[in-house]
Amino acid sequence: MDIMQAVSKRISCRTFDPHDVEPGLLDQLEACIAKGNEAGGLDMRLVRPQDGGAGLKLAGAMFSGQPSTYVVAFAPADEQSRDRLGYYSEKVILLATQLGLGTCWVAGTYDKSSVTAQPKAGHELHGVIPVGYPAAKTPLKQRTVRAALRKRSKKPTELYEGYETAPAWVRAGIDAVIAGPSAINGMPVVFEDTADGIAATLPKVKSGIELIDLGIAKLHFELGAKDAGTEGSWSWGAGGVFTPRQ
Ligand SMILES: Cc1cc2nc3c(=O)[nH]c(=O)nc-3n(C[C@H](O)[C@H](O)[C@H](O)COP(=O)(O)O)c2cc1C
């Protein structure tokens, strides 16, 4: 599966099969986590089965089955670190999807005290990402949760006003953002033309979790644009600009 197939295929998995994930797959995730930590100044950590991965308590109202592995999202609390956490954690999520694994970014519906790892000085716990094999059948409850959340998805023109007449690479970028995850599917990131390129802004910040959504949206935009022939990179933070490579 290539990365754009992973963008289309990824969903928030809320039903996990009890089998432990093959260690070789976890090694690949761990390498991706290490790269992201280094590039982003983050401290994401993979908690494997032998390290107590099955001890993570997810809210029964949202999840079923017990994943045996999870990623702890430790990072500094500042705006740019949360943006980078979104960006690099989503790389891990898309790789997991390519490996046939289910994941879900979970910032709220879990018991924080079940995370036994402690953050380094200056870092805090932003959430967890359970990792496991998706169950063969998704129960009605979890299907209903996702359908209810996805009903709120925004239209491309709500994310980028000029969508209809935009170049194909911009439209592909926006389409990839819509396919991506965001907290309560709020899709808070808006894209705007500026003199320097396309900026990703956050018109409304309520809890601050939107900054993680921002980094996720930036990665998805970048991947969609690249797939349509335009490579580029983002500057960090709200208002960060996507600069196509010449
Ligand atoms: C930063 C962030 C936090 C999230 N927190 C939770 C959570 O606490 N509980 C949950 O069930 N889903 C959580 N989600 C998953 C979203 O609800 C989900 O991405 C959104 O509804 C879109 O659905 P999809 O990911 O299946 O496409 C979170 C997603 C993100 C990006």
Q: What is the pTM of this model?
A: 0.98
Residue 106 Cα to ligand 1 middle (Å): 6
Average pLDDT over residues 55-84: 97
Sketch the domain layout of the chain as residue ranges: 3-139, 153-244
Structural element, H or E, at residue 211: helix 210-227
Which structure tokens are listed for 202? 């956050």
Amino acid at 44: M
Could you check whether 3-139 and 153-244 share the same CATH topology? Answer: yes
Bridge partners of residue 97, in order along the sequence? none
Q: What was the pLDDT predicted at 102?
A: 97
Q: Measure the CA dihedral 32/89/227/214, to 10°.
A: -150
Average pLDDT over residues 216-231: 98
Question: Which residue's alpha carbon is nearest to atom 6 within ligand 1?
Answer: 106
3-139: CATH class: alpha beta
Q: Which atom of ligand 1 is nearest to the CA of 108?
A: 8
Provide, rounded to the nearest whole percent, the portion of the chain with pLDDT above 90: 98
Distance CA 212, CA 201 (A): 13
pLDDT at 159 over 90: yes
- The pLDDT tens digits for 170-207 are 999 999 999 999 999 999 999 999 998 999 999 999 99
Question: Which residue's alpha carbon is nearest to atom 12 within ligand 1?
Answer: 106
Average pLDDT over residues 156-166: 97
Provide, rounded to the nearest whole percent, the portion of the chain with pLDDT above 70: 100
- The pLDDT tens digits for 3-46 are 999 999 999 999 999 899 999 999 999 999 999 999 999 999 99
- Ranges of beta strands (E only) in 181-228 are 190-194, 197-201
178 lines ligand 1 (CB under 6 A): no
Residue 181 Cα to ligand 1 middle (Å): 6
CATH superfamily of 153-244: putative nitroreductase (tm1586), domain 2 (3.40.109.30)
Residue among 12, 15, 149 whose CB has most ligand 1 atoms within 8 A, to mutate: 12
pLDDT at 88 over 80: yes
Q: What was the pLDDT predicted at 5?
A: 98
- Ranges of beta strands (E only) in the chain are 43-47, 69-75, 102-103, 124-132, 190-194, 197-201, 232-234, 240-244
4 lines ligand 1 (CB under 6 A): no
